[in-house]
Chain A
Amino acid sequence: MGSTGAGVSEPTETGTVEIVIRDLSKIFGQGAAAFHALSDIDLEIRTGEFFTLLGPSGCGKTTLLRVIAGFEQPSTGSLGINGKEVAGLGPNARPVNTVFQNYALFPHMTVAQNIGFGLKMQGRPRSEVEATTDEMLRLVKMEAMAERKPSEISGGQQQRVALARALAPRPRVLLLDEPLSALDLKLRKEMQGELKRLQTETGITFIFVTHDQEEALTMSDRIAVMSAGRILQLGSPHEIYHAPSERFVADFIGDTNFLDLPVASVDGSQATVTLPGGKETAARLPQGYLPVLGETVTTVIRPEQAQTVAPGQGDMDGVVENAVFFGTDTHVHLRLDDGQPFILRRQNIAEAREPAPGTRLGLTLSPGALRVLKG
């Protein structure tokens, strides 16, 4: 099944590579009805990192997780875990455990029996199963619920049990399939911190699937943004947010302004673009992309990377169309002089009035914030 270039290395240690995926694809169906759920996936996940697969529903992130878990087999390519090729092996033969979206707790077993199940199946001695179960109950603070059935505990508690059950056999990798999506907002925030704590305490590699960009940004060491079965960008939350490689990534992560601007000059990794109103400003170029002079390029800038000044005093001017109050900040929707829309996020540090529609404002862009997207 595909190349075996991934495998044959000695057991890994912290800071090394845990999972190696090469040229992996997953095709459902055949012929004209074939659906490419995953295409050309090349990915290395490091030992002990909190890795997130982020994308809209149907982007292939859950399929990739299921391929790593062993519930689906790749159509082509190789998948190595801890230096061992696992493509073709079933889920019970892989050192990975899954936290399912609906938790999938065994309803006829107690919380303690659920947590001990994996160890029992591995044939560990009873004393070890009991000791580890107790340890896991403490880790997720569920000691008092050990003898309850899953139907007798709350959704948040079920979530903790599902985590403990998956962590108990000490897998090399923990897979989490949108585990927080069923919880309400407050509990979700709490569990985000809890997950991060568990990951740090256990040192286990976490692969987390979510469509929630905020969740991805706050928890991850690295994020892979996926769309239509491909990984579009791989990087730290900072890189993904501040240096999106393409329009889809910029659009999917946070609010973004897209400005189509003509290039005035190019100098290495930097270009000079002409802003509406005629002023020129620097814009960073993505690696390996050189626009032609005079060509119109798409640039991005986040709504919080601009400040208001008096009209004519900034880099460009805009007319207020409306302003929406969000509590901590206000989103001001502007129309630039060349007709392009621009959203400005203004933090409500002082109790300021929203600018009235029709007001003309000057805008200063944060230095270095403007980036050119690959054509």
Chain B
Amino acid sequence: MFNRNFSVSRLPGFGAVAVFTFVMLYLPIIILVTFSFNAGVSQAQWEGFSLQWYQAAFQNDQVRDVSIRSLWLALAASGFATVLSTLAALGTTRVGRFPGQTMIYALINQPLMVPEIVTGVALLILVAFLKVQTGYTGMGYLVAAHTAFCIPFAYLPIRARLETMDITLEKAAADLYADHWQAFRYITLPLLVPGILAGFMLGFVISLDTVVITEFVKSAGQDTLPTYMLGQLRRTITPEMNAIATLFLALSLCIVTAFFVITRKRGT
């Protein structure tokens, strides 16, 4: 056993390893952000501060289009995923044990284990079949694919919250004349809000970030921000991509911060 006073930070080289790890984690991001403000076209040589690439990005109609598409796709997909996950979480924690319960739990989480590329190829085949059969080629496929992909991410925090919630509270509500719906509306749901928000935000960020699934499922003219950026990189790389990536990063940071602020305030 470890000595009670043992501290890993006293091992030789601890500081160096820690610094190296942080550098590896954040140096690429720092470079990316820095060169988004570069006055020149180079990704290697600093030619002075400028906001011209941000300007270029904002004036680029394509960038605006794919950004809006990405945002509403993420909103719709994580919204659907959150509702479905909340129902799934209630169904797996607030009912008596039923046969196959463990398998249901595994099935809900399964997309986390399956490589994204496999899901992508599978969806490609299915969607191609459906397109031929129905003739529909709209955004519905992307929304459905993203929703399915977001469900395990939304499900985990909601289920965790339900499992740690004191079940006596719902019994107390029933004892105080609340019917099932009232007990859910006034007790379970308000206490579940931090879990639902966490699930929603996690789903939102995941959907916003997904490249592989979108690439396989999308029809022509359905580029999202990540697939658009990937497409652009095949040509010439300009710091406009840095600017877009930086804005993307800022948005993610805002969401994560908002999430922490909300859950901290509601913490029980």
Contact = CB atoms under 8 A, between A and B. Distances in A.
28 contacts: A69-B175, A70-B174, A70-B175, A90-B174, A91-B171, A92-B174, A92-B177, A96-B175, A97-B175, A97-B176, A98-B172, A100-B171, A104-B169, A104-B172, A106-B169, A106-B172, A106-B173, A106-B187, A107-B169, A107-B191, A108-B191, A108-B268, A117-B178, A121-B182, A121-B186, A166-B175, A169-B176, A169-B177
A107 B268 contact: yes
A70 B168 CA distance: 13
B163 interface: no
A71 B223 CA distance: 55
Contact of A71 (B171, B176, B177, B268): B171
A154 interface: no
B268 A92 contact: no
Interface residues of B, number: 19
A117 B268 contact: no
Given A100-B172, A117-B178, 12 more contacts: A71-B171, A90-B174, A92-B174, A92-B179, A96-B175, A97-B176, A104-B166, A104-B168, A107-B169, A108-B190, A117-B176, A121-B173
A151 B268 contact: yes
A97 B177 CA distance: 9
B107 to A, nearest CB: 29
A372 B172 CA distance: 45
Interface in B142-180: 166, 168-169, 171-179
A118 B177 contact: yes
A25 to B, nearest CB: 21
B177 A122 contact: yes
A61 interface: no
B129 to A, nearest CB: 48
Given A102-B166, A104-B166, A151-B268, A117 B174 contact: no
Contacts of B178: 92, 117, 121
B176 A121 contact: yes
Interface string A97-114: 110101010111000000
A100 B176 contact: no
A107 B266 CA distance: 10
Closest 3 CB pairs of A and B: A118-B176, A104-B172, A104-B168
A91 B168 contact: no
Contact of B175 (A91, A102, A122): A91
A165 interface: yes
A235 to B, nearest CB: 29
Contacts of B190: 108
Contacts of B173: 106, 117, 121
A54 to B, nearest CB: 23
B117 to A, nearest CB: 43
Contacts of A122: 177
B168, B171, B175, B266: residue with the most chain A Cβ atoms closer than 10 Å: B175
A100 B168 contact: yes
Nearest to B268: A107
B180 to A, nearest CB: 9
Interface in B170-226: 171-179, 182, 186-187, 190-191
Contacts of B268: 107-108, 151
A91 B179 CA distance: 9
- Residue in B174, B179, B191 with the greatest tally of chain A CB atoms within 10 Å: B174
Interface in A57-108: 69-71, 90-92, 96-98, 100, 102, 104, 106-108
Contacts of A71: 171, 174-175
A109 to B, nearest CB: 8
Contacts of B169: 104, 106-107
B213 to A, nearest CB: 37
Contacts of A90: 174
Nearest to B170: A104
A117 B176 CA distance: 7
B190 to A, nearest CB: 5
Contact of B176 (A102, A108, A151, A165): A165
Nearest to A97: B175
Contacts of B191: 107-108
Most buried by B among A92, A100, A169: A92
Interface in B238-268: 266, 268
A166 B173 CA distance: 11
A124 to B, nearest CB: 10
Contact of B171 (A96, A104, A166): A104
A96 B174 CA distance: 11
A231 B249 CA distance: 68
Contacts of B266: 108
A22 B137 CA distance: 68
A48 to B, nearest CB: 21
A288 B175 CA distance: 43
B234 to A, nearest CB: 52
